[in-house]
Structures are given as C-alpha cells and as structure tokens.
Structure 1
Amino acid sequence: MFQRLLSSAAALRRHRDAPFAAERERYLQHCFESGATYGSLRVKSNELLWAAQLLGADASNGIDMEKLKTIVARRTAVQKAPTTERRFIDITRPWLKFLGWWKEPIEVFEYQNVLDQYCRWMHDERGFSDSTIVHGRDVVRDFLKWCSKTGHNLCLLQPNVIDTYFIDESHRWNRVTVATVAGVLRIFLRYAASQGWCNPRLSQVIRGPRIYRQESLPFAPDWADVQRMLADTLTDDPRDVRDRAILMLLSIYGMRASEVASLRLDQVDWQQHVIRMFRLKRRQPQMYPLLPSVAEALARYIDIVRLSTSHPEVFIGLNSPHRPLTRAGIYAIVSSKFLALEIEVAHRGPHALRHACAMRLIAERFSLKEIGDHLGHRSTSAACTYAKVDLAALYEVGDFDLGDLQ
C-alpha cells in the first residue's frame, strides 16, 4: 500500500522503517478497500507516521484518551496549525480501534445488568421491533441514571420519586413526549416488579397527560412541493441520483425511514417488476408493483452511483467508509431538501413525505382501508387521521340534508 501512495524512494523508506509499519499498511489497505480516495489515504499515512513515532513500544497494551492527548500535545508542538490536533485524533483513534489497541472509557453504571435483562425481555418475550427496543432502552437508561445520580435505590422507590423525576426532566419535553416516557416507564416498572426489583404497585401510579385520539392533524406538504423536491434531483450529480430514489420510495410508497434504510438489493425483483419488503408494524412481508419511474431511479442509482460493496442494503453512503445509510441519514437527506427549497411544513423528516403520500391517496378517493394497506398500517383505524383533512368528504357531510329531523 505504501508503494501506491508514496512516489519517492526516500519517503517510502521513511514510512517502512518507522515503528508499526505493518500495522499502518494493513489499516491503509482496509481504508482503501472501504472506498477512501488516494488523497485522504496520503493524509492518513502522514498522520499515522507521526503517531507511530510518538507511541511507545507498549502501545499494543492499550491507549486511552488521556494518553492520546499527551501524544497530541507533542504532535502540535511541532506543527501548531489550528486543525492539527483534530486531524491527528480523527485519524489515529480509528487506527487504534482497528488494531484493537484503543481503550474505551469505562462508564460505571449501577443498573447496567437490570437494563440488559430488560432489553432481552423486550426482544425475547415481547418481540418488540429493534427501533422500539432502542427507544425503550434509552428512556429506561435515562431514568435509571437519574436514580443513581440522585441516590434513589430502585427497590425503595416511592411514587413521589417518580413525580420528582418528571418535574426535573419534563422541562425538555412536550406533552406527547411526557406521555410516551410515562408509558415506557410504566411497562418497565411492571416488569421490574415481576422480578422483585421494586414495589409492585409503583407502575400503577404513573399517569401521563391525556392524549386524545386523533387530536392532531397530519403534517404533510402539498403534493406540488413533493414534485418540486423530486424535480430538484433531476441532475447527474451522484448525490441527487441517490436522493431521488430515496424520495420516491418515501413519497410514492409511503415507506418509513427505517424501511428505506433496511431495503436490500434482493428485495427489488426486476424480472417480476415488484418490490418485496417487510412492514415493521404489521410484522409481515408486503409486495408492491415496481413503477417504471421508481425502477428507472433505482436502476440509475445502482448502476451509476452505488459503489461495489459487500453490504446488501440498497442505499450506501457516498463518503468513505461506505456504509449503509441509517434512519438518521435518511432524515438528513429529506430535511435538507425541505430547507433548500424553503418548503414550510410542521416537521421536515421522512414521515412528512409518508403523510403526503396518504393525502394524495385521499385526494384520489381511495378508501381508508386501501390507504392503510398501502402504508402498512396494522388496522384501518390508524389511517383515520387522514379523514380529518379530506375536505371533499367533509363538505359532503356538511351539506347533508337532515330534512324533518332538524
């Protein structure tokens, strides 16, 4: 790998004669196979040369952040540019992690075993989706950390302690979030009581704010704005080619961000002209016709933009290392489009395009059952929220003649 990056014999000799040459070359080869450009590899090789010269012979025993900062101080003493410290850390730490030499800071968490057991219960016994488990884990972890920090023992918790937690933390939450957190903690405390970890009546005293069914309106952009977003991606720029395919899946099929992120190449059947996907809420497979416009957008992205990789997911990041896009990555793509085109909407995430899909189906007089099936809802009632903005149907209700019943 050094031979590909270094043009002069002196530079090649300097890199090969320095400590940890084999370790550095192996890591650079890994970065190259992950899609790193030659320019970035040269920068990495230079910083890793500095790191190898400053690390001690016992580096394989482990390097933590405190020790790395000591090495950084010696590096910046030679070159005091503003970006030197950040660049050195950003390049050296992944190398140390790759080698298994990096020591992650150990966070002592009193209730880690409790949290781990609860997560296993959510997965094994309740069969919750991964996203639900992650959300539940985060809410419960925050609560248990607060208990540990404030000196409250889980087995001795009283209702007034739960009230204190919500008073301390709820200033950061809106009403819906407070209700969600209350629901998650109610489930956790019910499970904790079954394990003998807390008072069995504790879960019964948690009351969140009343959230009325169908109290909110869909936050959908106008379909003309969705078309503007799609038109804005009609370029040859690789980012636009990829984003166009993503926006189409969100707005035409009403996919969730997690469903787009997890979509695999083998789920697109080019021969049968269908997309096969697993609906997270229904927990069952669903098949959609592969529309010509969507097929064209996907084929253009896969053939021209998508790099060859071992990952089966369709959508891969454009920057090295090339990994599958996450839900957060999908959100960033959609949000940036809303901002760039100055489209006013209550929420700028992928779910807004899912709502736009539903509103378009409402406008085309599809039934709530058909809309719910298209969006992968578990029941028709989940699609009822869109009926509140079906103005044509509401006008018909308003014009209904009660006759002699008035």
Structure 2
Amino acid sequence: MEASVFDDIFFPHTADKYRAAPLAEQRERYLAHLKATGTRRSALRKCANDQLSLVRLLDLKDGDRVSRSWIEAAAALWAQPRGRRCDRAASSKTRDRFVSHGVRWLTFLGWLEDDGDCRHPHHGEVQAFARWSRQDRGLSDATVQSYCKAADHFFGQLAAKGVRLSAVGMADIDDAMAAEHERGAWGRRTRHDYAQRLRAFFLYAEMRGWCRAGLAAGIVAPRFMADEGVKGLRREDVVRRWRRLGATARSTSATGPS
C-alpha cells in the first residue's frame, strides 16, 4: 500500500489514528498540497492536529459549508485549558494559527462560506435558543454549536425564499430536507442529525410562540443503517443523564408507591 502523508509526518501508531479519523481523505489531500509547496514536517504536524480538532469540534461531514465565525467559535473552545490536551490556555498567536489553518483548509476544499452569506433575519432567535440550550438544558458548547449550525443552515435556505419564521410551514421544512437529499453531499446519518437538530430548535420556537404549533412533531428524521457510523453519547451527556435518573429514582423512593 502506498504511504500516505500521515505516514511521512507521524510515527506508525499515530498515523493509523489520523487515517482512521473522519474526513481522512479531505485532510490528507490538503496536507499533500502543503507538502508539495515545501511546508516543513513540524508545520504539517501542527496543521494535521488543528484539522482533526476542527473536525471533532464542529462535527464536520463531507460537503459541509462552514463560516469563519464557526471556525473562530471552535478555536475559542480549543484554546481553553485542556481544550487541546494541555492544562494551560492557548496564546492568542496559537489560537490565530488554529483559525488560519481551518480557513485555508476549508477554502482549499471549497467548503468555506462567507459570513455575509450566512446572515439571516433570525440570528437573534438562534442565539436565544443557544443560551436556553446551555443554561436551561445544560448542553455542552459543542452540542449547542451543532444545533445552531443546523438552524443557521435552514434559515439561510429560508432567507433565499423570503419566508419568515412565523410563516414557516411543514412544506418548507420538507423542501429543505429534500434539497439536502437531492444535493447528495450528506449521507442518511447526516440528514438524520440535521432533522433532529431542527426539531430541537422548533420545539423551542413553538414554546416561545415564534412559529406555528406542531411543526416540531412533524419533522421526521430519515432512518439509517446500524453500520452507518452511529456516534456514541458524549461522556458528559452520559454522566448528566445518569445523575438525572438517579435523582428521579431517589425521589420516587422517598415518596413511596402511589
């Protein structure tokens, strides 16, 4: 088998890990481009590390459109203590390098979306949903980002049609889901996750009276096969759910049978 760029810049065991991680072909293609332009091995390693961190923080899938603001948000998480397997926070210079690597890589792939193109009339509603998800539901920053990313993507499509949130109907949501299917860039698992995240937003929107009632219940996530890369729960989500179950069990035990 022909040696990859990962084999050139990492020891074998580490190279195997990078090759097995998501979007390996897209990451390696850009690293090969850099290597061909004379980029040093140490710089290639840093870029490879930053690529993989960005993929995991934004849960990137093949063909995703990403704005610079999302990369900067991921960099802010990555720069925190222990955000990059380090007890200290990253310097501003190191964080800027992370953003630069992400921007250049996604530009190379044609996935970078201009922030101006990502603006839509419902930015305030999405930010309110983000605050509620963090403060009331206790979701992690990475999870909240993925939910907001889905909402922003949907509202970007909606803005092009001139439809406001208050006027959204099931046909608009179905059309958005169908458009992603026809585009062919997302697999069933990605479309499933997109539908689940949209449903979470519309549950909140209904609660606030921003849209018609019943939209969330009408969003049906596409089915996917068991071998299509089902992603496990995050450790913090497992712990949180376990604690809630324990609290419920203790409450039931204390009140006794009805």
TM bracket, shorter-chain basis: 0.3 to 0.5
TM-score normalised by L of structure 1: 0.28
Relative to its length, the structure with more helix (as a share) is 2
Using structure 2 for the length normalisation, give the TM-score: 0.43
